[in-house]
Structure formats: structure tokens, C-alpha cells
Amino acid sequence: MSCGKILITFSAALIVSHLFCIKYFINLKDVPAKDLRKIVSDAKKRKNLRKKLSTLEVDKGAPLKGKLLIQMFEKSSLRTRLSFYLAIKQLGGGTLTLRSNELHLGQGSESVADTAKILSTYGDGFMLRTDSDQKVENFRDHLTIPVINGLSPSSHPTQVLSDVFTVEEIKKKKISKLNICWIGDSNNVLDSLIAASVKFSFKLSIGCPKNFEPGKEVRAWVKANNKKIFIYNDPKKAVLGADVIFSDKVISLNDKVNKKKKIEQFKKFKIDKKLMSYAKKDCIFLHCLPRGSEVSNEVFLGKKSHVWKQALNRVHVQKSILLYCFGKLR
């Protein structure tokens, strides 16, 4: 009897320990700054070690051998899907990709809680790209495996952490020593960039029309963390002294707005050679893709643009995010 009690107690302790060891990557706001820096540093090492390896060769030691990452996409994806597929493969694991319309989820026959139990039974990690912030939270509450936010309406943490990596790689200095500028709409990428500006302590200037400024909630969060962001309704003022200019599509895939009107409102915020001339001479341009009318071909395809390196770097950072979530980050 006492032995049984000991076994039960030990088993319960293991379960509790397992639950406390699970790490989520849902919003940069919730990840400690030291952990974000550790992820970026690990990605740098891993990229250097892959110089002589082909695309599908596995990293030395295969740190995630035998692990399965389940991916679910409710929104279209190219870079996120490819980068996570290669990331888990290069770490020695495997991936299974699902689309929400292939499941019973949301059709009145299976709850998120029940779906989460199945996912936790079959997989070791779960990456979700969704049009619902609540759905990310629901899965986090019910899954017993790590959850990674591949994009949600209010956050795109994997994109922005990779962008921090790219900036530091190109500029060869910590992002905290650089002036970062965002020109464009206030969306999920900007919200994550704002969170990154607090976590990595860099100056962030935002150029956008008055009606498209960051929301009160995110601005209050910045203030609560004793930091500042600088918002300008004049794009020239926003880019002055910038080391890096970021942008994103003015019209997102699921934007329920008058598209012609919105494009007209952002007309003077188009990133062209003239606007780039107000930034530092060695200023670089980055864009999370896909692009639209917010940037000229001359800038997008020019020497100051590093969008292709930016996209490829996501593989290296996703790998370190996976290792972080699986508790295997060195």
C-alpha cells in the first residue's frame, strides 16, 4: 500500500515536472529577454556550423531525433511553413502538416480540448498559424506539449525574432545600438517588433497615418515596462537617422477594409529611393513578405534590400526556437 502511494506520488511529481518544463513561444512579451537573446545566439552558432552541409543534412548530434512537430495552418503560408519543415528536419526530427479543414475542429463534433489531447498523444510539439488569438490561448491551455505561434492576429513572434537575428548579422552589432524604423500599418508584425524593442532595448520609430497608429493596449504595455516608442505621421521624420527600415503589406490577406481608400491613405508612406535618402547612408531595408505597393521595385530589388537573406534566416532561428521549447537549448 505504502509502495503504491510512493509510486503514485512519484508519477504525479513527474507529471507536474513535465508541465512546468513545457515552454511556449506565443508572444515575445511573455518570453524573458535573456531567453530571447539565448535563442538568437544559438541560431548564430547553428548557421555557422551548417556552411558545409546540404539542405536536408542533419545537425551534429541530431538534438531532436525522434521528435514530431505537428503544424496546423488556418492561413496561407510559405516562409513559415518551409522554415519550420526544414528546421525540424535539420534537427533530426519530423513534421506533419495539417489544415484546419481536414479536422473535425470547429464543426460541432470535436472540441479544442479533445483535439488537443489527440495532438499531445501523437506529437511532441505544435505550431499553429491562425486567424484567432483565442484559439492559440485555448490550445496552450489544453495541450501538454510545447505550443509555437506561427502567426496570429496580434503577434508574429517567430518572424520578428528572426528579423533581430538578420539585423545583427548584417550590421555586425547588437540591435540595441541601432535605430530601427517601421513604415506601414499597425499590424501583428509591428506589435511583435514593439515587444522586441522592449526586450532588446532598441530605439523604434514608427511612421504611419494617424488613424493607423499602434493601439492603446500595446502602448500601455510599453509604458508599463518603462520604455518608449516614437510615432510619426510624417514618414521623413520617422526614417531620420534610421539604420534599418522595416515594412509589410498595407493590405493584409484578410483585411476587411476599403482597399482603395487604405492604399490612398498610405500613399505618402511608400518606401522609395527618395524616402530612403533621409535615413543613414548605410541603412538597410527589410520586409517580411509578401510585398505590395508599399515599396518601390528600386528599393525592394536594390543593394540596400536584404529580404532574401531575411527570409532564409528564419530556418536557423526556428531551429533555436524549437530547441528552446523542447528544453534542449545549449
Residue-level pLDDT at 246: 98
Q: What is the pTM of this model?
A: 0.92
Residue-level pLDDT at 100: 77
Q: Which residue has the higher pLDDT, 167 or 99?
A: 167
pLDDT above 90: percentage of residues in the chain: 85
- Other CB atoms closer than 10 Å to residue 211's CB: what's the count? 9
Residue-level pLDDT at 13: 35
Tell me whether residue 89 is exposed, middle or buried, using C-beta atoms within 10 angstroms of its C-beta: 0 to 12, 13 to 18, 19 or more.
buried
Of the candidates 46, 129, 287, 306, the residue annotated as catalytic is: 129
Cell of 142: 489544453
Give the span between the Cα atoms of 318 and 160, in whole angstroms: 11
pLDDT mean over 180-184: 98
Mean of per-residue pLDDT scores for the chain: 92
Based on the residue annotation, tell me whether 314 is a catalytic residue of this protein: yes
In this model, does residue 236 exceed pLDDT 90?
Answer: yes
Return the closest-CA partner of residue 330 out of 19, 17, 49.
Answer: 49
Of the candidates 288, 306, 310, 318, the residue annotated as catalytic is: 288
pLDDT in tens, 237-267: 999 999 999 999 998 766 777 889 999 999 9
Residue-level pLDDT at 111: 87
- Angle of helix 157-171 relative to helix 307-325, nearest 10 degrees, comes to 120
What is the number of H-type helices and E-type strands within the chain?
A: 13, 9
Q: Which residue has the higher pLDDT, 298 or 76?
A: 298
Give the span between the Cα atoms of 157 and 210, in whole angstroms: 25
Return the closest-CA partner of residue 193 out of 240, 158, 241.
Answer: 158
* Greatest distance between any 2 Cα atoms in the chain: 80
Return the closest-CA partner of residue 149 out of 182, 121, 125.
Answer: 125
Q: Reading across the β-sheet that carries 147-151, which strands appear in turn?
A: 94-99, 68-73, 125-129, 147-151
Domains of the chain, earliest start first: 23-155+314-325 (3.40.50.1370), 157-311 (3.40.50.1370)
In the chain, the amino acid numbered 209 is P
Based on the residue annotation, tell me whether 265 is a catalytic residue of this protein: no
- Please state the length of the chain: 330
In this model, does residue 184 exceed pLDDT 50?
Answer: yes
pLDDT in tens, 278-322: 999 999 999 999 999 999 999 999 999 999 999 999 999 999 999
Residue-level pLDDT at 2: 34
Question: C-alpha 298: how far from its chain's center?
Answer: 27
Indicate the Cα dihedral angle 161, 166, 168, 169, nearest 10°: 140
* SS3 (DSSP) at 270: coil
Based on the residue annotation, tell me whether 159 is a catalytic residue of this protein: yes
Of the candidates 46, 287, 314, 316, the residue annotated as catalytic is: 314
Give the span between the Cα atoms of 85 and 122, in whole angstroms: 17
Q: How far is CA 151 from CA 19, 26, 199, 300, 324, in A?
A: 24, 9, 19, 24, 18
Of the candidates 90, 159, 265, 310, the residue annotated as catalytic is: 159
Give the span between the Cα atoms of 88 and 79, in whole angstroms: 14
Of the candidates 248, 283, 316, 318, the residue annotated as catalytic is: 248
Based on the residue annotation, tell me whether 156 is a catalytic residue of this protein: yes
pLDDT in tens, 129-171: 999 999 999 999 999 999 999 999 999 999 999 999 999 999 9
Of the candidates 46, 156, 287, 306, the residue annotated as catalytic is: 156
Indicate the Cα dihedral angle 17, 66, 321, 303, nearest 10°: 180
Cell of 108: 460541432
Residue 21 pLDDT grade (very low, low, confident, very high; cuts 50, 70, 90): low
In this model, does residue 226 exceed pLDDT 90?
Answer: yes
Residue-level pLDDT at 254: 65
Residue-level pLDDT at 4: 40
H or E stretch at 239? helix 235-239
Residue-level pLDDT at 110: 84
